[in-house]
Structure 1
Amino acid sequence: MDVSRTRAVRLPAVAAALCCCLALVAGCSGSASRSEKERATAQTAQTAVPMAAADLQSDYQKVIKDVLPSVVQIQAGNDLGSGIVYDDQGHIVTNAHVVGDQKTFRVTTANSDKALTATLVYSYPQQDLAVIKLEAVPKGLRPAAFADSSKVRVGQIVLAMGSPLGLSSSVTQGIVSATGRTVTEGGSGGSPGATIGNMIQTSAAINPGNSGGALVDLDGRVVGIPTLAAVDPNLGNSAAPGIGFAIPSSMVGTVAGQIVRNGKVTDSGRAALNITGRTVVDDRFRPAGVAVVEVEKGGAADKAGIRAGDVIIRLGDTDITTITSLTEALAAEKPGDRTSVTYTRDGREEKTDVTLGEQ
């Protein structure tokens, strides 16, 4: 799937449509007259839908009021993105592609037009996450509450908050469309970017500038960081409506927590073969596997007997044709997992068991 780094519900219309349906059902009862009790019951049913719509709208407004102060706009050089206030010490978590190569940033909070200065703590491009820190913490800065993303369910209503196209404090609405997605970002020069596993797919609109913001449930808790929007090659690589991806909050907490405590990521949780590889093609110029260019001494591949010059064609039961497909297969695994690697060496196909290392 092609991705780039980066529909509001019309409640009155929905309510009206549902009321109409209720009226039609009631009109098909076949009874020429109704008792006062039946009439009262029908009237109660007709008023229940608008009341439910009003309750949902109230929920939206409360979540926005509670969470939006924790979402900031980040200016990194000439680029704009979003971030989430992580704690009351001024740490802000965002995407690594938002901070880029910059070391200092201008941060604008939702309740102020005054730009604050922040500096980079650490960027971890492998998971597309980074933490920056405000030089001076303004009074009333509100950290966001993070949910357990393992409990996120398909169909759950979510709101995306951030600064799409520079429009600060913007909110879009959708649902969780899928969980457990593995997505590879577009990189520079045609090479792939980070491959991120276990992502949340959402129909909430994610546009450039939303990256690093908040995907929030109706309890006002962050379930993920909006990071990617799918693009449609048939539409000139423009954004595919309703297909966006967010890094799950549990991973955000793991990575950001390590950065805040240690100044870097010490335990990535990302499986690796500990090799340097490149995609190779067959005699028809079709991707045919990953050639091992270098093996890290003492790493997972080294211990399994894999050598430079071998061509990896399968990891477990997954066929490997490109470096991206290998990275995506590894994203579904954990360090310490036991699996098999099938490879070719001097024209012969061989297979070995390997205990995966850490990236």
Structure 2
Amino acid sequence: MTWSQDPMQEPPQQWGPYPGQPGPREPQGSPEPPQRGSGRGWWQVPTAAVLAAALATAGTWTLAEQGVIGQDEPAQSVSREPAEGTPASASAQQGDDSTNQPAEAEVAAGSTPASDPHWSGIAEKVSPSVVAVTLANGAGSGVVLDDEGHIVTNHHVVAEGGPIHVTLQDGRSYPVEVVGSDPVTDLAVLELEDGPKDLQPITVGDDKDLKVGDPVMAIGNPLGYAGTVTTGIVSALDRPVRASGKSPEEPVVTNAVQTSAPINPGNSGGALVDSRGRLVGINSSIASLGRSADTAGSIGIGFAITATQMKNVTEDLVESGSARHPQIGVRIEDGRVEHDGAQLAAAGVVSVEEGSAAAKAGLQKGDAIVGLDDNQIDGVWSLIAQVREQRVGDEVSLRVIREGKEREVSLTVASEAKGEATAEGGTP
């Protein structure tokens, strides 16, 4: 072997998505949920990466620095309008022009969007594209994708099933059906039944254009306060986020946008937009220092599924009702490798699946993967997250250290075989 095992790489795990508002909450001191794969398993799964908090009002995925968070306390029954003077948030108002064209905010004359965003104009233009999602047991948020009535939200928001309604920014409410839901990526697509003709789809931007420090706005339905907007910056990019829930489903792995914009339970499925009002992420989880529902809430570390992954998954869900999950076919573990006199964190290849994309590309047992395209790979979860953001059929280049020498390995991302997407038996 040319790399050494690194047992410190795996991030803390946390409670994962809970659909809607929960019934009885978990008692404090609940036992930690079992790990669903130690980072040394086959990763075909689209699971895992850095702490997160599913933001449905019924249960936020929260990350604890040590230990696990219990389920969030049910939100109180509140009016659709936020209370006057609600700190760190504002209720977005309906603009005068309701059209079925994608919403793109106008920028105030003389301002530079990246450094001086016109947030009130952005909120006015984008808020009609964000909806409140309500179920019998809870609530979340959603984003209008097109004028045909497709709405994206988080899987954990709608996972419990039952009648679902969405409420538009102007107060109109409609029943929706689930077109498709993918627990692996925590994304779902809803469709309005006999929806209005004046739906305003959001403009989808390119998260690849984001830079750390860029201003962003989160829009959603936290704790039932519909139309709430909060602002912050991009705190980090390509952040591997791992979250798991009470269900036996796989933990979710996301190559996330980290933001300081306050995000709270109920924001799940809502929009993260850039300084021009373009969608760059779907808010899905938060980190928390608390160990129970009593202390779960925004501490300025929130995570959004990238617009890139959202587009890949929702296109599959709309077309077929299910999502394809990319894989390359290697069994990996966290490790470190020596290169040019320095130690590098890496994803070490334990074995290569016969006939897989990795095998065809020449990956070998003992290889240390330290990069994918222009992105650094520092362990199991970052490689899983990066692969999961690709589309099946994409060409990627892996940076590999083999016997002390660096080499590039190009391969075509494949689709996981049916029934193999588990932490124990999958492959990335």
Please tell me the residue identity of whatever aligns with 1:220: G
For residues 160 and 83 of structure 1, the distance between their equivalents in structure 2, rounded to whole angstroms, comes to: 12
For residues 75 and 140 of structure 1, the distance between their equivalents in structure 2, rounded to whole angstroms, comes to: 21
SS of 1:207's equivalent? coil
SS of 2:251's equivalent? strand
Higher relative CO (Cα under 8 Å, sequence separation at least 6) belongs to 2
For residues 265 and 244 of structure 1, the distance between their equivalents in structure 2, rounded to whole angstroms, comes to: 25
Q: Is the 8 A contact 2:213 2:234 kept in 1?
A: yes
What is the CA deviation profile of residues 317-359 of structure 1, one whole-angstrom value per residue up to 9, with x for unaligned ones?
A: 8786xx75774575588865465999xxxxxxxxxx9957535
Q: Is the 8 A contact 2:313 2:323 kept in 1?
A: yes
SS of 2:120's equivalent? helix
Gaps of 5+ in 2: 1-49, 56-86, 91-109, 335-347, 372-376, 402-408, 416-428
Residue 133 of structure 1: aligned partner? 191
Aligned: 1:5 with 2:54:
yes
Please tell me the residue identity of whatever aligns with 2:414: E
Residue 172 of structure 1: aligned partner? 230
1:185-204 to structure 2, matched below 5 A, reads: 185-188=243-246, 193-197=251-255, 199-204=256-261
The TM-score with structure 1 as length reference comes to: 0.65
SS of 2:316's equivalent? helix
Instruction: Give the greater-gyration-radius structure (CA).
Output: 1
Task: Tell me: CA distance 1:65–1:273, structure 2 relative to 1, closer, same or farther (3 Å).
Answer: same
SS of 1:107's equivalent? strand
Match of 2:167 among 79, 101, 108: 108
Gaps of 5+ in 1: 11-50, 280-288, 343-352
SS of 1:150's equivalent? helix
For residues 329 and 357 of structure 2, the distance between their equivalents in structure 1, rounded to whole angstroms, comes to: 6
For residues 141 and 267 of structure 2, the distance between their equivalents in structure 1, rounded to whole angstroms, comes to: 6
SS of 1:223's equivalent? strand
> How far does residue 167 in structure 1 lie from its aligned partner after superposition?
1.1
What is the CA deviation profile of residues 153-196 of structure 1, one whole-angstrom value per residue up to 9, with x for unaligned ones?
A: 22222111000011111111111111111111133269861111
Residue 76 of structure 1: aligned partner? 135
Q: Is the 8 A contact 1:303 1:354 kept in 2?
A: no
SS of 1:232's equivalent? coil
Task: Tell me: CA distance 1:314–1:232, structure 2 relative to 1, closer, same or farther (3 Å).
Answer: farther
> How far does residue 234 in structure 1 lie from its aligned partner after superposition?
7.1
Task: Tell me: CA distance 1:100–1:276, structure 2 relative to 1, closer, same or farther (3 Å).
Answer: farther
Match of 1:216 among 258, 262, 273: 273
Q: Is the 8 A contact 2:126 2:202 kept in 1?
A: yes
Aligned: 1:181 with 2:239:
yes
Match of 1:65 among 124, 143, 148: 124
Residue 210 of structure 2: aligned partner? 152
Q: Is the 8 A contact 1:162 1:209 kept in 2?
A: yes
Please tell me the residue identity of whatever aligns with 1:126: V
For residues 122 and 305 of structure 2, the distance between their equivalents in structure 1, rounded to whole angstroms, comes to: 20
Structure having the larger proportion of residues in helix: 1
For residues 331 and 151 of structure 1, the distance between their equivalents in structure 2, rounded to whole angstroms, comes to: 19
Structure having the larger proportion of residues in strand: 1
What is the CA deviation profile of residues 194-234 of structure 1, one whole-angstrom value per residue up to 9, with x for unaligned ones?
A: 1111x211110111110100111231211111111012257
Q: Is the 8 A contact 1:184 1:192 kept in 2?
A: no
Residue 103 of structure 2: aligned partner? none
What is the CA deviation profile of residues 236-266 of structure 1, one whole-angstrom value per residue up to 9, with x for unaligned ones?
A: 8734511101112122222222322344334
1:196-345 to structure 2, matched below 5 A, reads: 196-197=254-255, 199-232=256-289, 238-239=296-297, 241-266=299-324, 268=325, 270=326, 272-274=327-329, 298-300=355-357, 315=369, 327-328=384-385, 337=396
For residues 255 and 189 of structure 1, the distance between their equivalents in structure 2, rounded to whole angstroms, comes to: 21
Task: Tell me: CA distance 1:142–1:99, structure 2 relative to 1, closer, same or farther (3 Å).
Answer: same
The TM-score with structure 2 as length reference comes to: 0.56
For residues 367 and 292 of structure 2, the distance between their equivalents in structure 1, rounded to whole angstroms, comes to: 33
SS of 1:65's equivalent? helix
For residues 138 and 329 of structure 1, the distance between their equivalents in structure 2, rounded to whole angstroms, comes to: 38
Q: Is the 8 A contact 1:77 1:102 kept in 2?
A: no
Task: Tell me: CA distance 1:305–1:150, structure 2 relative to 1, closer, same or farther (3 Å).
Answer: closer
Residue 46 of structure 2: aligned partner? none
Indicate the larger mover: 200-209 or 256-265. Answer: 256-265
For residues 234 and 350 of structure 2, the distance between their equivalents in structure 1, rounded to whole angstroms, comes to: 38
> How far does residue 68 in structure 1 lie from its aligned partner after superposition?
0.6
Residue 358 of structure 1: aligned partner? 414
> How far does residue 115 in structure 1 lie from its aligned partner after superposition?
2.7
Indicate the larger mover: 252-261 or 66-75. Answer: 252-261
Q: Is the 8 A contact 1:87 1:143 kept in 2?
A: yes
> How far does residue 67 in structure 1 lie from its aligned partner after superposition?
0.7
